[in-house]
Structures are given as C-alpha cells and as structure tokens.
Amino acid sequence: MTNFKTALLRKTCLLAIVMSAMALPAFAQDAAPAASSEDVVVTVTKRSEKVRSVSGSVSAMTGKALEDLGADSYADYIQRVPGAVFNNYMPGVSHVTLRGIATSSGNAQGQGTTGYYLNDVPLTEPGWTIVVPDIDTFDVNRVEVLRGPQGTLFGAASMGGAINYVSNVADTSRFEYKLQADVSSTKNADTSTGLKAMFNVPLIEDKLAVRVVGYASQEAGYLDNIGVGVDGANEVKTSGGRLSFVYTPTADTRLTWLSMYQQTDVADSSYQIPSLGDLKRSTSQLEPVKTEVELHSLRVDHDFGWANFTGIASYGKKSQAWTIDYTPIEIYYNADLDLNLTAPLYINSGGNSENTTFEARLASPKGDKFEWVAGAMYYKSDKYLYEVIGAEGAAAEFNTSAWANDPNAGAVIAPDGEVFNGYYTKVKGTEQAVFGELSYNFTPQWKVTVGGRLFETEVYSGTLQDGFSTYNTTTHINTPLFSSSKSKDFGILAEGGPDLQGVAGSDGIRPGFQGLSFRYAERAGSQHL
C-alpha cells in the first residue's frame, strides 16, 4: 500500500472567465508596469522592505504570479520555492517543510517546524497543529516564504521558517470587482468546477471601505474505492471567504479589520493501492476528512515620524474530524477481547482549538544609518484532541464477551453502543516574548543585522483514557510541561551591487511538549521527538 497521494496532472482548463480590477470610469488609470521579483516589497521581517534588502533567505510570489500559474493551493506553487517540500498528505492536513527541518517523515505529529501566518497573524499553535491552513490564493496580494530558523522574530514553530499569506484588504480609493469561474477535467474523474468573486466598495472616499471575497470549488475525485463501490471517491469541496474593513481617520493612521473562514470536505482518503490497479483503493468504509479555519483580527498602523507602530489582536478557531478505516485490525480485537464484531471498525480522530494573539511593535523608518524593530507578543491556545475506536454493535458484543464477564459491560465500555476505547486530551499553551533587531547600514550596499528574543512558553496537557483499556478503572494522565530560555539571532547581509549577497547565522526554538504515545506512533509509522 502506498500511503501518499499520487501526483496527477489534475487540471486541464476548459473554461476560465476572469474580470479583474474593473473600476468605474472615474477611477480608470493606466496599468503600472509589472514588478520584478527583486522589486517586491515584503513584510515578513516585521517591516516593509524589498526582498533583496532582507538579511535572510526570502521568496515572494505575487498574486499576479499565482494567477498566471493557475494556483489555488500549496500543491500548485509551493515547491517552486527553493528549499520547500510539500507533503501532500490530504487537503487540510498536508504541510510544508522548509530546509528539510521536520519532526516526522510523514504527516506532522507534534509541534510543527514551519509557521503559517495570514497578514502577520499566526495560524499555528503550541503542540500538534489542528489543521494546516492551505488558504485559497484568490485575491491574495502575495505569499512570502522566509526560510529559517526564524526564532527571533517569529518564536516557536519557525525552526524551518515561516509562510505569510498577505491578503488584499479594502481599498478606500476605488471601486473594483473580480469574478472567476473555472471548469476542468481530470483523468479518471468527472468535471470539476469553481466560482470565486471579490468586491471592493469605498463607503467614504479615502476614509472607509469594505472588501468581500467568496469562493467555492468542487474537485472531482479520481480514485475509485472498490471496497465500498464508489467511483471518484476522493472528491474535495472547498468553500470560504474573507471580509475586510479599512478606516483611515488621518493620513498617519489606518485601522484594518480582517475576517476569514475556510472549510474543506474530503470525501475519502487519497492514497491508492497499486496492486489493485491504476487509481484504485479498497476500504470497508470511506475515510472522510473535514477541516475548518476561522480567524478575526484587528490591526492598527500609525506613523509617528520617528517610528512606525503596528498593533495586532486576533481570535481564531480551527477544527478537524478524520475517519480511518481500521477494519483490517478487527480480527485482533475479536481474538483478544472475545468479540464477534462484523461491522467495519473505525478510528475517529481530530479536535478543535481556540487561539488568541496580541502583538505590538515599533519599526524605524527606512533609509537611516541605524534601522531597528522592537516588539512584544502574547499567544494563548486552548485545544481539545480526541481519538476513538469503535464499530456498530460493540456494546452488545461486550455484554456477551467472556473477557468482560459482565452482561452489562457494554453500557460501561461503549455507552453510545459503538465507541469502546478513546483518548481525550486538553492542551493549554501560552507564549510571551519581547524581541528586536538592529541593523547598521555601512553603505547602501553593506548592512549588518543582529537580533534577539527573550521568551517564555508554557504547555499543559491532560489526557483521559476510557473504554475497554480502563474497564472498572479511570486513568488520568496529567503532564504539565514548561520551558523558558533565550534565543539569539544574528545575520549579516552584504551587497556589492545587485549580484553579491551573504547571510550568516540564525537560531530556532520549540516549546517543550511530550512525544506521541508509542501506540499511535507505531500505527502511524511516524518518528517523533
């Protein structure tokens, strides 16, 4: 069995209708010349500067470049970034590895090593990340990739680097809209469709505007699950949108509200079994995955003249539900527990998280001999994880099991009639830090940058296990974990004209967290720290 998604040429475009940046005549203007990659201004270093001026390894893909590629998700563009590898496990749970730094060779288990951000707002949390956001790139201004380690500016979950989606926000100067419809065909699949739209409306000219983005797509499945008799079983449906308000009370102050939501529904897993034939798999039941990401943020930018202030507050929620067909293992449960289960055996796993973040920073104006950025941040995450195993009729089987030796055992072991073993974990994590970087420009071509971060992280985990493994007992595993240390980041950028650049030194950090349980690590075939 090959436990990865087979690479396919998925999309052959039959129809694309794009009406982009169609302003009212009063706002018509000549198009600006396309910027080269070196002219792209990025903010992934907590200040606005050109890619070539960043003392580190940064790549940026503009919205225009992504549109030209026909890119919707990581699979379409991320591996064009030097040093990036995409583990295309399944939509919503796939992840990006930067510079080969990862905690596992398969689907990430435990603290991730790549940080994900939307307009500087973190989308990952301490410990195992519930949902790796793969945000639709429609109406995205650019995607910035900063290869790590990047512990100084980004803290935990940035040992490999950081990916920052920069979404377009409301424009107070003009009305515009953009519509896109897609129809495509895929080998061994039905037709796929997609519809996307963006509207930007100034409410008070040069003062207040709203921008609304919505999208929905249906990607036809190409794998036939002969075990359940479903052709094209691995269909993927994605829907979501973004909403932003921008208010500029003065020329020096801007307030930005940004909300986003995205839901992905995968009808069946995307691994095939080559021995069954091309593009075929077989399970006793479908293995669906559903993920949801919701984020709300308020950002304040103010120019003091001597420094630029940025303050960001955010609240986010994520959830994931995943079913795994465990029927091949059912015979061992029947033998060990004296059962006669015949319905498909399943594992349901997933969880949800609520995350709150605050960050405030000051950055000096560009062009001074000394350039600096200094700030503080706070991150809080409350997370609930579960993994249960069950089968229809389990409670009745335990009532007659010689192993349980109790005609009422089923009501205790499997109260809902099906789930007969489970692990339920609550994780609370916090990170607080102050950070800063200082650069000195010897000449317009030579610059030295040094930075540091003083941080404190705390992760608490409590696990409750119940079912047959704790029959007549209750087992609680409470493991408080705490880490506190310092991280220093040192970088040198040397530019002798446009063709000479050198960079040296960087550190990364991770919060303390327990490794996987041996039971799960063995089943998943994963390595863990």
The Cα 495–Cα 263 span in angstroms is 44
Residue 349 pLDDT greater than 90, yes or no: yes
Cis peptide before 498 (omega within 30 of 0): no
Residue 497: the pLDDT is 41
**pTM, 2 dp:** 0.81
User: What's residue 472's pLDDT?
Assistant: 76
Question: Are 418 and 364 within 8 A, CB to CB?
Answer: no
pLDDT tens figures, 277-293: 999 999 999 999 999 99
Domain range annotation of the chain? 185-524
CA 96 and chain centroid, separation: 9
Residue 242 token pair = 């973004």
CATH of 185-524, one of 1.10.3720.10, 3.40.50.300, 2.40.170.20, 1.10.10.10: 2.40.170.20
Q: What is the pLDDT of residue 104?
A: 63
Nearest to 513 by CA among 26, 113, 4, 17: 113
Q: How many CB atoms lie within 10 A of CB 243?
A: 16
pLDDT in tens, 453-495: 888 888 788 888 889 988 876 554 444 444 444 444 444 444 4
Distance, in Å, from the CA atom of 132 to the CA atom of 135, rounded to the nearest integer, reads 9
Q: Quick one: average pLDDT of 430-437?
A: 87
The C-alpha atoms of residue 396 and residue 392 are separated, in whole angstroms, by: 9
